[in-house]
């Protein structure tokens, strides 16, 4: 089994543009390119885990995800990292597309996407980190057994706290978060850079 890094997409890795799947509007969030480069040097697999309720809301179709993931893969490469896989939830209980208008176990804060990735890639969740910009990300990570970082950039507005929604660390951006995570792994693992493997898209 291997440790892994899980990243939320919008607001953590990319600028938070609501319901965006347009490759031309995708841009790194502040500090994200430097942070992703550091994760690439860490040598652990990296997975993006994202709620995509725009599918359930009829704002875009499943087929629209492919160009977005292709652009995301290119952005990882440009930063010196490898996208190991993109895991997404297409559901929303108040959606307008009947097929996806449902409760599920994959929409964060549920841990289903993390558990699926762990099963498919033999990931040790207890040695993994999930980084996100709202407490639903923290809850998903902690429920799955991951260590968690909250990017405190103003996107969390409700601050509903319980034992599952307390991040292990907080940081203003991905750059600072990954600096600390790199040192955390250096204390626990013999880090040897290795090439990531392009994972199967969820």
Which residues are annotated binding-site positions for Zn(2+)? 89, 91, 104, 106
Report the Cα–Cα distance between both ends of the chain, in Å, rounded. Answer: 20
How many angstroms separate the most distant Cα atoms in the chain?
49
Instruction: For residue 62, report the phi and psi dihedrals to the nearest 5 degrees.
Output: -55, -40
Give the active site residue among 8, 136, 137, 175: 8
Cα separations in angstroms, 126 against 118, 123, 144, 154: 11, 9, 8, 28
| Known binding residues for Mg(2+) | 8, 10, 133
The verdict on whether 63 is a catalytic residue reads no
Binding site, residues? 8, 10, 89, 91, 104, 106, 133
Buried b (16+ CB within 10 A) or exposed e, 141-151: bbbbbbbbbbb
- Concerning whether 10 is annotated as a catalytic residue, the answer is yes
Q: Please pick, among 10, 136, 137, 173, the residue that the annotation labels catalytic.
A: 10
Catalytic residues: 8, 10
């Amino acid at each position: 089994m291997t440790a892994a890094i899980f990243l939320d997409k919008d607001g953590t890795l990319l600028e938070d543009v609501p319901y965006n799947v347009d490759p031309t509007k995708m841009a790194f969030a502040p500090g994200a390119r430097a942070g992703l480069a550091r994760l690439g040097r860490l040598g652990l697999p990296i997975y993006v885990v994202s709620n995509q309720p725009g599918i359930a809301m009829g704002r875009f179709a499943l087929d629209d995800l492919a160009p977005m993931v292709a652009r995301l893969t290119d952005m990882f490469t440009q930063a010196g990292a490898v996208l190991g896989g993109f895991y997404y939830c297409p559901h929303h209980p108040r959606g307008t597309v009947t097929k996806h208008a449902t409760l599920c176990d994959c929409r964060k804060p549920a841990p289903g996407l993390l558990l699926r990735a762990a099963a498919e890639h033999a990931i040790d969740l207890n040695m993994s980190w999930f980084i996100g910009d709202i407490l639903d990300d923290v809850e998903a990570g902690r429920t799955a057994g991951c260590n968690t970082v909250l990017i405190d950039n103003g996107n969390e507005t409700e601050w509903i706290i319980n034992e599952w929604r307390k991040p292990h660390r907080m940081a203003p951006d991905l750059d600072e978060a990954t600096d600390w995570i790199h040192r955390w792994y250096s204390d626990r693992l013999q880090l040897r850079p290795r090439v990531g493997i392009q994972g199967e898209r969820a």
